[in-house]
Amino acid sequence: MEKSLLRKLPKVDDLLKNEKIAPFFITMPREKVTDAIRTVTNLKRAQILNGEISTLCDEDIVNEILATLSVSNRKSLRPVINATGVVLHTNLGRANLSQSARDAVNSVISNYSTLEYDPQAGSRGSRHVHVEKVIQKILGVEACMVVNNNASATMLSMAAMGRGKEMIVSRGELVEIGGSFRIPDVMKESQATLVEVGTTNKTRAADYRKAITENTAAIIKVHTSNYKIIGFTEEATLGELRTLCDEVNLPLIYDMGSGLMLDLHEYGVDEPNVKDAIKSGADIVLFSGDKLLGGPQAGIIVGKKEYIDRMKAHPLARVVRIDKMTIAALEATFNEYYNEETAKKNIPVLKMITMSMEEMEKKALLLKEKIDRIGVFETAVEETTGVVGGGSAPSSVLKSMAVSITGGGFTSEKVEKLLRKGDLPIVARIKDEKVLFDIRTVFDNELDLISDKLREIAGK
């Protein structure tokens, strides 16, 4: 019985010639195709020997090979639809870029560029100038430098300003930034000595003052961007620390995390912004490019030229050097900020955060209608709450709109799983046994893709 079934198993050579499989040789390496065939035939052989199957159908085998091929053809890093409502989802790539930033990246990667070449002078230029001018203009700062991410910005500024010396930081600001990376550990790698002052919930300017010695190189303030201590708390403000630093002639560094450029309080975002931080008198301000700034992954360092020149000359500057795609995207992103109103329209992160409830409801109704046309699921449009995410604005709750679905003979867990397992994963939430598509983070052109996938899941 097993033997006769084993003999019926199609030969690899025959499968290679199969009219549905052969075309894959044009688009895929031969090895990948034979691997897929072997994977499926080996599986079948094992199932026969284990007595798990008693019949074989050639067409099913070919279909299984085709499915294996399409999975192995998938890129590992590929787009997903974010229906979680979390605007800056670190696992889903944080900020998506504006059209102008995407165009800028495209043009520098398809051509040679002025990356480190000054065409006016005909001589070597600096990769920092491309963002320096626009950042100086918009933020009114003396100097700036961009590096790979904000963690590198923290390490570089400490290494350049405090190596072998002491830097004072509040115990209430020793943040873990996610993925179990902790700011104090990054700081220690700079070879500056961290002097922790105050307690978890209370640190006053006097605590910093007491810790100052002749070996102190700077005071660092870290915005606790991914958590908030509430209740019996106190922290020294930037203004108080500025006064202290002026008295003792020390620089003040402020790691603010999110890089918010506009005041978004009216939209429920309770975060400090870069302009206010500079006005409050920090000598050096550090922030991420891909959080609320809405650009590419980067660390942006702005402030006094004397310190930033030291950072540019430090050996670590080369280690954390930013690449041309990022510079192109950053220059274009900052250019959007010449006009705050168009920035809110053109930068996706800002557009999503400032989206009105009416606009979201309209979009939600559109998606509901498309899903209703499948005729399988029970749907509703409901108010929900989202968050900014990405370790930004922990106490800000964004009122949002979602489409919920149930029914169709599936559990919500099953639907959620099928949604994310395709070529284009759709990441949705489950709440009260319903699958929820939060509309804030879903682009208009993705509504059809969601309803198409649900149609496929429903088998319609």
Ligand X SMILES: *Cc1c(COP(=O)(O)O)cnc(C)c1O
Question: Nearest Cα to 293, choosing from 454, 140, 87?
Answer: 87
Residues 74-113 that bind ligand X (CB under 6 A): none
402 Cβ neighbours under 8 A, 6+ residues apart: 85, 364, 381, 382, 383, 384, 436, 437, 438, 439
Q: Does 326 bind ligand X (CB under 6 A)?
A: no
Two structure tokens written together for 54: 């008693």
Question: Nearest Cα to 383, choosing from 366, 367, 369, 404?
Answer: 404
Two structure tokens written together for 377: 């699921």
CB of 178 to ligand X, least distance (A): 7
Q: Does 223 bind ligand X (CB under 6 A)?
A: yes
Dmax (CA) for the chain in angstroms is: 92
Q: Which is nearer to ligand X, 388 or 435 (CB)?
A: 388
80 Cβ neighbours under 8 A, 6+ residues apart: 92, 420, 424, 425, 426, 427
Q: Which is nearer to ligand X, 352 or 388 (CB)?
A: 388
> Residue from 41, 98, 170, 288 that binds ligand X (CB under 6 A)?
288
The order of strands in the sheet holding 284-288 is: 143-147, 299-303, 284-288, 252-257, 216-222, 166-170, 193-197
Q: Which is nearer to ligand X, 251 or 299 (CB)?
A: 299
Q: Is 447 exposed, middle or buried (0-12, 13-18, 19+ CB in 10 A)?
A: buried
> Residue from 98, 149, 216, 346 that binds ligand X (CB under 6 A)?
149
CB of 183 to ligand X, least distance (A): 6
CB of 167 to ligand X, least distance (A): 15
Q: Does 150 bind ligand X (CB under 6 A)?
A: yes
Q: Which is nearer to ligand X, 238 or 419 (CB)?
A: 238
Which residue in the shown chain puts its C-beta closest to ligand X? 257
Hey, is 301 helix, strand or coil?
strand
Two structure tokens written together for 457: 């899941």
Q: Which is nearer to ligand X, 219 or 364 (CB)?
A: 219
CB of 305 to ligand X, least distance (A): 23
Residues 151-180 that bind ligand X (CB under 6 A): 151, 175, 177
Q: Does 222 bind ligand X (CB under 6 A)?
A: yes
CB of 291 to ligand X, least distance (A): 6
> Residue from 68, 203, 225, 412 that binds ligand X (CB under 6 A)?
225
Q: How many residues bind ligand X, per CB under 6 A?
A: 14
Q: Which is nearer to ligand X, 40 or 177 (CB)?
A: 177
Note the residue count of the chain: 460
The stretch among 25-33, 145-153, 326-334, 359-367 that binds ligand X (CB under 6 A) is: 145-153
H helices of 320-372, where? 324-336, 340-346, 348-353, 357-372
Q: How far apart are CA 297 and CA 94, in angstroms?
A: 8
Q: Which is nearer to ligand X, 393 or 403 (CB)?
A: 393
Q: Does 299 bind ligand X (CB under 6 A)?
A: yes
Task: Give the count of beta carbons closer than 10 Å to the beta carbon of residue 224.
Answer: 17
CA contacts within 13 A on the Cβ side of 419: 25
Q: Does 327 bind ligand X (CB under 6 A)?
A: no
Q: Which is nearer to ligand X, 223 or 351 (CB)?
A: 223
Q: Which is nearer to ligand X, 96 or 150 (CB)?
A: 150
Q: Which is nearer to ligand X, 135 or 442 (CB)?
A: 135
Question: Nearest Cα to 320, choosing from 112, 160, 191, 142?
Answer: 160
Q: Which is nearer to ligand X, 33 or 327 (CB)?
A: 327
Residue 456 Cα distances to 34, 68, 146, 375, angstroms: 29, 18, 45, 12
Q: Does 255 bind ligand X (CB under 6 A)?
A: yes
Q: Does 264 bind ligand X (CB under 6 A)?
A: no
| Contact status, residue 404 vs residue 380, Cβ threshold 8 Å | yes
Q: Does 391 bind ligand X (CB under 6 A)?
A: yes
Q: Does 333 bind ligand X (CB under 6 A)?
A: no
Amino acid at 316: L
Two structure tokens written together for 96: 């998506």
The stretch among 52-60, 220-228, 437-445, 448-456 that binds ligand X (CB under 6 A) is: 220-228
Q: Which is nearer to ligand X, 285 or 352 (CB)?
A: 285
The stretch among 76-84, 218-226, 332-340, 437-445 that binds ligand X (CB under 6 A) is: 218-226
The stretch among 219-227, 373-381, 404-412, 446-454 that binds ligand X (CB under 6 A) is: 219-227
Q: Does 454 bind ligand X (CB under 6 A)?
A: no
243 Cβ neighbours under 8 A, 6+ residues apart: 205
Measured on CA atoms in the order 392, 394, 396, 399, is the torsion positive or negative?
Answer: positive
Contact footprint for ligand X (CB under 6 A): 149-151, 175, 177, 183, 222-223, 225, 255, 257, 288, 299, 391
